[in-house]
Chain A
Amino acid sequence: MVPTRCKSNDVKISLQSELTVDQVNKNVNLQNKYGQGIGGSYVWGYPLSWGDPIAERPGGEDVRARPGYEYSEITQKNSRQTYDHASEVFQDAYSWKNSLSVSGGNDQTTYYLSVANSRNNGVVLANSNFNRNSFRLNVDHNFTEKLSSKVNANYIQSNSDRIQMGSNISGLLLGTYRTPPDFNNQPYLVNYVAPNGNVYQDEQRSYRDPAGDPNSGPGYDNPLWTIYKNRNHSDVKRIMGSAELKYNMYDWLNFVERVGVDTYTDRRYQLLPPGNATVPSGSLTENEINQYQFNNDFIIRAFKDFSEDYSGNILVGYNLNHRATDELGATSTNFILDDAPKDVGNAVDRFPFQTKTVERTSALYAQAEFNAFDQLYMKVSGRSESASTYGENSDKTYFYPSANIAWQFSDLDAFQDQNILSFGKIRASYGKAGTQPSPYSTRTNYLRASYANGWGPEISATYYGGGAMRSSQEGNSSLKPEITTEFETGVDLRFLDDRIGLSFTRYWKKTTDALLSIDVPPSSGYSSRLANAAEIENRGYEVSLDLNWIRSRDFQWNTHVIWSKNDNKVTSLAGVNNVFLNGFTDGSSRAVEGYSVGVLYGSKWERDDSGNLILDENGFPQIAPAADVLGDPTPDWTSGIRNTFSYKGFTLTALLDIKQGGDVWNGTKGALYYFGIHGDQTWSTTADQDLVNYLGQTIPSGTTFRGYVKDFGGGPVAIDETYFWAGPGSGFTGPTEQFIEDGSYVRLREVGLTYTLQTKAFRDFTGLSSIRFGVTGRNLKLWTDYSGVDPETNLTGPSNGQGLDYFNNPNTRTWLFSLRVNY
């Protein structure tokens, strides 16, 4: 994107515009055959969709208890109308991005200036956006032959509105997907008329409170309330700048001093207005996060040409790094004036909070490079690093060596008189690096006492005279860095005048003293400690093949294939059974000795020693008390295949991505099964014999029920609705094991077409140097057996907890139109 700077008075101007359209690529599968209710009957306001068959209703208007109030209780459900809740909160989203850059300069000074602006909208109906304005200036200046400088300044202002996602009752998709198919989420606000005639303005109406009665909470926030009323705004102002002074004392010796600063403030505003599901009295959090980072490097570098064939250089440097965060904010609940503009002072209950952290590292480093015959390259380096976060009882400074060697053997004379191998290189590298512990983990703290139980209710000792508690995380005075050692070797070959390229890489990576928060038995008085606890190994291959099928002047066809495989294993875990990484208490991602990092972990079926289900007295399987490893989200292998065709100014490219293996926990399906709302749950079966259901009730022969017949080993039983809301058939009531699925996929990741106009006639006519038009489609097609939304989505984002699908946002398909003008 940054054009090459030129050493003349030429000014280059480049203007680029992009329009993007995002649309949901795959929706969750919901049923629309059975209505709100339970036991096969319609029940007004009921949380579940185990009601009557919608098609068997008479049709027409519903009968209301109080005809004077149009949202009063339905006493007779007649309507056959259904609503598509899987797609109703999404839209096609349009985003724009524009940028302008100017660059130029002369022998003394070069500059690059750019301004950019983007307006991004999410696929949710409203209040889902990200806007960014940025300004950047780079100036390089030579004061004298020997003294030069580089100065960069970058200012970014961004703001965003986000919709609450994930597992909470104000999360968008909980309310959306759980709404019965026969309930209309419109309108989400009503003027509630009480039986005594009192009117309450703008009350939230939801499927569990269909009248909008303020005395009965909404259950989940109506998705439209979540979109239009709950707010989540962030305003970020960021400045990054660096300045470098370089002094070339001699041809062979120079000094560089470089300082850099990166600082931002993030001002946040999160509002749940009164009447929301999470905090009925209303909640507002306002906070400001300040982050500051300072970096200083001083580098001395010396060069030496030993002869025409041998040369080398050495470098010695010293790095200082200072990182500080400072957050201050308050949460207020229970607003005094509901209608007043919201600020944290307008509330009965106010909870201020603040956090500060400072971390420092310093490092002395040195590096030596050596080059022989322009074909053998060697580099060795070492870094001696200290950090402020190490424990009092551990060493304060650690040494990290690394080395590289590469030999471009195709430059040997022996390869000069042939035209099969055009390029050949073998390479190997070794390196060691450290990761610091999080700050302030070396001592045990006392905290303001506040206790929760996992369901929400919480007691704060502040209200009981002000109490303190010892932190449940024990300080560890022996904390030291986690060390990763990596060895990599590979070969790069090109044949037939570079028509065929082949590359192979094999790597081994071992992490020792991996930092993990490990469980200690709660009976000891602590429940966890951050420790250098684990040893993790990664080994893998990467193979790439590059084929230039056709390479004529006007037409080129290139195919590029990458295939990779990584094996990952926790080889030691300091005596604990497993370590929680992410997710839920049941349905989590953990580190378990002998398995990949991040295996899926949770409850399973109770089985005997030979693996048979242990059945209850009615012939149904049961949940086992102890949790276990259930699956591995790490793929067996991944691959990408790209084909690129160029004809004159046109370029067409297509990328296919393949992921083989890798499990996903379909927690969304597990939850929807409970509600009777998943698309699978439209079964209808007529019993051909007397059958028992999960609750031990008999379904007489000849009865038609919503469900199916199954034999778990104790004879046929009826899987009817009780199996899902009382029995072990759903994610809330049964083992997580049953919702682990294979997340393999093949995906048409990208198809792009660009056309560049830069013919001489065009340039002469317009005075421009080029124009490029482009159309790109991303994530256009997905082939997968995974029954949820896109298996690529993840509850906890890009973390070490992968393969967790719990009401995640669907993935999107994107069309991108771009125009670039160079002057």
Chain B
Amino acid sequence: MFSMACNTINESYTDGYNTDPNNPTDANAEKVFIGGESALIEYMESEPAWFASMWTRQATGSDRQFNRIHQYGVNNEDFSSMWFLAYTRALTNLKIAEEKASETGKNNLVAVAKINEAMVMGTTAALWGNVPYPDSPHPDGNYVYEYLPQADVYDMVQTKLDEAIQALGTDLPSGVDAFSYAGNADLWVKAAYTLKARFYMHTGNYGDALTAAQNGVLATDGSEDLMIPHGSTYQGDMNLWYSFMVYDRSGYLTAEDNLAYGMMQDNSDNHAKTDESGRMAYFYNADGTDLNTSDGAFAIDASYPLIRASETHLIMAEAELKENNDDAAALTHLNAARQYAENMYGGTYDDLTLLDFQVGGDYENTTLQQEIYDETYLALMFQVEAFDFTRRIDWQVTGLTPVSGNSQFPERFLYSQDEINSNPNTPEQSAADLYKPTPANQ
């Protein structure tokens, strides 16, 4: 009795004061979708892409931790932040948006969110191999998920994309898309097809990749490219590479030891049909020792690519060779990718012919396949996909070697230290595991 009386007296003073006056406990589907897309920006454009650019030797880690990462001296902690972005930020908010949109019958929003989800999870599976793929953003007290085989995750990603393509009819309402598509349904369908083709290439399904790519992002004037727009506000909408290199960590990422600039220089020097000066200037500074933060790819408000049409064409070129042995078709798509480069960066990328690859031709010292590989390496510059690509072709890019002091390339990202701390299903890794290909590349 007495204690009950105590409780009543006490609690009448404290009850009702635990409602947060600062933040709500819910948000609508559209806003959470934009939140999810924005998380995808931070995930796809920053850390994983920086790692990819160092390990493919398109950029150089030149200072402090980036020196170590450049030399492959990584540990689990280095991957905690990007893993968190992929799962807790991007995947979770996209899934919440899908759930809320489907409750209110907004099927187009569900579909676009699924395309974004597929991009996140396909990339995540490519980088880490076997990974968790929760189907709900609500753990309900059970936080520990299984690690699914990488192949299963790729299958689930393809299914997501198929569902999205099926469902996507009309455009999203204005203002509900962070990316350059501004909610355009036709463009999102094309993006979904290119993503299907991209991930089929990861798993070696060249025929399916070729079929999907036919409907993908193909316009060589770049008008169908999926781009992240940027402005000039620091910690707002500024290009994340610019922010990193100019505002946050000046000197950490340079191009002191890169392969791509020299490769483009060689292309210009050795081939009459090719002048790479435009693309070189767009990505690098005048002597190729640093990245162009003033008026090119890494300017303060430069858009950053998630999908370029050249990627789709180069997928088709590679698949035509590998699936159909069709040199002519392959060459057509290589030329389309070269046309894209000329349209986007300037310079000269005249059409190549099969004769060029014959004895006496301008490209007699290489093969069509090698030229497709090298062009893909350049077309994907500074995207995560460059690392996915070089791994799946066993690093057969002309002149590509591990950085000094190493005899092998890194083949994957290591699991996040935060995940290891709390999920006992996370596979244990040693320093040597960094060099072990993911199942798709074994």
Interface residues of chain A, those whose CB is within 8 Å of chain B, are 47, 208, 217, 219, 278-281, 318, 320, 333-334, 348-349, 354-364, 384-390, 396-397, 399, 439-440, 442-447, 449-472, 474-475, 518-527, 576-578, 585-586, 603, 606, 614, 617-618, 622-627, 674, 694-697, 725-728, 732-734
- Chain B residues lying within 8 Å of A465, measured Cβ to Cβ, are 34, 175-178
Q: How far is the CA of A603 from the CA of B420 in the complex (A)?
A: 14
- Chain A residues lying within 8 Å of B92, measured Cβ to Cβ, are 470, 525-526
Do A457 and B178 touch across chains, with their CB atoms under 8 A apart? no
Q: How far is the CA of A488 from the CA of B67 in the complex (A)?
A: 53
**Which residue in B68, B81, B85, B143 is a CB contact (below 8 Å) of A526?**
B143
Do B84 and A527 touch across chains, with their CB atoms under 8 A apart? yes
Do B243 and A397 touch across chains, with their CB atoms under 8 A apart? no
Distance in Å: Cβ of A734 to nearest Cβ of chain B: 7
Given contacts A364-B6, A466-B34, A470-B32, A522 and B23 within 8 Å (CB-CB):
no
B410-430 vs A, Cβ < 8 Å mask (1 yes, 0 no): 000010111111110010111
- Chain B residues lying within 8 Å of A363, measured Cβ to Cβ, are 10
- Chain B residues lying within 8 Å of A727, measured Cβ to Cβ, are 71, 73
Do A356 and B21 touch across chains, with their CB atoms under 8 A apart? yes
Do A522 and B10 touch across chains, with their CB atoms under 8 A apart? no
Contact residues, B396-442 vs A (CB, 8 A): 404-405, 407, 414, 416-423, 426, 428-431, 433-434
Do A449 and B405 touch across chains, with their CB atoms under 8 A apart? no
**Which residue in A279, A390, A522, A585 is a CB contact (below 8 Å) of B234?**
A279
**Which residue in B21, B38, B175, B405 is a CB contact (below 8 Å) of A461?**
B38
User: At the interface with chain A, which of B132-140, B160-168, B205-213, B278-286?
Assistant: B132-140
Distance in Å: Cβ of A440 to nearest Cβ of chain B: 4
B144 proximal to A (CB < 8 A): yes
**Which residue in A279, A455, A524, A725 is a CB contact (below 8 Å) of B249?**
A455
Do A520 and B64 touch across chains, with their CB atoms under 8 A apart? no
**Which residue in A354, A359, A697 is a CB contact (below 8 Å) of B17?**
A359
Quick one: closest A residue to B133, CB to CB? Answer: A523
Q: How far is the CA of A518 from the CA of B421 in the complex (A)?
A: 10
B1-32 vs A, Cβ < 8 Å mask (1 yes, 0 no): 00100110111011111111111111110011
Do A732 and B64 touch across chains, with their CB atoms under 8 A apart? yes
Do B76 and A626 touch across chains, with their CB atoms under 8 A apart? yes
Contact residues, B62-102 vs A (CB, 8 A): 63-65, 67-68, 71, 73-77, 80-85, 87-89, 91-93, 95-96
B366 proximal to A (CB < 8 A): no
- Chain B residues lying within 8 Å of A443, measured Cβ to Cβ, are 20, 25
Known: A455-B249, A463-B236. 11 other contacts (CB 8 A): A388-B17, A439-B18, A439-B20, A445-B20, A459-B240, A460-B236, A461-B38, A475-B25, A522-B88, A606-B431, A623-B73
Do A459 and B421 touch across chains, with their CB atoms under 8 A apart? no
- Chain B residues lying within 8 Å of A386, measured Cβ to Cβ, are 7, 10-11, 13-14
**Which residue in A219, A522, A578, A618 is a CB contact (below 8 Å) of B250?**
A219
Point out which of B177, B241, B419, B421 has the most chain A C-beta atoms below 10 A from its C-beta.
B421
Quick one: closest A residue to B31, CB to CB? Answer: A468
Distance in Å: Cβ of A11 to nearest Cβ of chain B: 44
B46 proximal to A (CB < 8 A): yes
Distance in Å: Cβ of B195 to nearest Cβ of chain A: 20
Do B42 and A333 touch across chains, with their CB atoms under 8 A apart? no
Do B88 and A732 touch across chains, with their CB atoms under 8 A apart? no
- Chain B residues lying within 8 Å of A627, measured Cβ to Cβ, are 75-77, 417
Distance in Å: Cβ of B86 to nearest Cβ of chain A: 8
B357-386 vs A, Cβ < 8 Å mask (1 yes, 0 no): 000000000000000000000000000000
Interface residues of chain B, those whose CB is within 8 Å of chain A, are 3, 6-7, 9-11, 13-28, 31-39, 41-42, 46-47, 63-65, 67-68, 71, 73-77, 80-85, 87-89, 91-93, 95-96, 131-132, 134, 136-139, 143-145, 175-178, 231-238, 240-241, 243-244, 246-252, 404-405, 407, 414, 416-423, 426, 428-431, 433-434
Q: How far is the CA of A223 from the CA of B66 in the complex (A)?
A: 24
- Chain A residues lying within 8 Å of B178, measured Cβ to Cβ, are 461, 464-465, 467
- Chain A residues lying within 8 Å of B15, measured Cβ to Cβ, are 388, 396
9 contacting pairs across A/B (C-beta < 8 A): A356-B21, A361-B14, A453-B42, A458-B235, A464-B41, A467-B33, A522-B88, A526-B143, A623-B74
Point out which of B41, B85, B235 has the most chain A C-beta atoms below 10 A from its C-beta.
B235
Distance in Å: Cβ of A177 to nearest Cβ of chain B: 14
- Chain B residues lying within 8 Å of A279, measured Cβ to Cβ, are 234, 247
Q: How far is the CA of A442 from the CA of B20 in the complex (A)?
A: 10
Distance in Å: Cβ of A325 to nearest Cβ of chain B: 11
**Which residue in B17, B76, B95 is a CB contact (below 8 Å) of A360?**
B17
Distance in Å: Cβ of A658 to nearest Cβ of chain B: 36
Q: How far is the CA of A606 from the CA of B36 in the complex (A)?
A: 37
Distance in Å: Cβ of A606 to nearest Cβ of chain B: 5
Quick one: closest B residue to A728, CB to CB? Answer: B73
- Chain B residues lying within 8 Å of A697, measured Cβ to Cβ, are 404
Point out which of A386, A576, A618, A674 has the most chain B C-beta atoms below 10 A from its C-beta.
A386
Q: How far is the CA of A278 from the CA of B423 in the complex (A)?
A: 36
Point out which of B21, B134, B405 has the most chain A C-beta atoms below 10 A from its C-beta.
B405
Do B14 and A362 touch across chains, with their CB atoms under 8 A apart? yes
Q: How far is the CA of A525 from the CA of B131 in the complex (A)?
A: 14
- Chain B residues lying within 8 Å of A451, measured Cβ to Cβ, are 38-39, 41-42, 85, 89
Do A523 and B24 touch across chains, with their CB atoms under 8 A apart? no
Do A626 and B32 touch across chains, with their CB atoms under 8 A apart? no
Q: How far is the CA of A474 from the CA of B26 in the complex (A)?
A: 13
Do B9 and A523 touch across chains, with their CB atoms under 8 A apart? no
Given contacts A460-B235, A464-B38, A622 and B14 within 8 Å (CB-CB):
no
Q: How far is the CA of A397 from the CA of B5 in the complex (A)?
A: 11
Do B89 and A384 touch across chains, with their CB atoms under 8 A apart? no
**Which residue in A320, A455, A523, A624 is a CB contact (below 8 Å) of B47?**
A455
- Chain B residues lying within 8 Å of A625, measured Cβ to Cβ, are 74-76, 414, 429-431, 433-434
Q: How far is the CA of A447 from the CA of B144 in the complex (A)?
A: 25
Q: How far is the CA of A439 from the CA of B131 in the complex (A)?
A: 35
**Which residue in B11, B138, B252 is a CB contact (below 8 Å) of A397?**
B11
- Chain A residues lying within 8 Å of B71, measured Cβ to Cβ, are 726-727, 733
Distance in Å: Cβ of A283 to nearest Cβ of chain B: 8
Q: How far is the CA of A614 from the CA of B414 in the complex (A)?
A: 18
Quick one: closest B residue to A606, CB to CB? Answer: B431
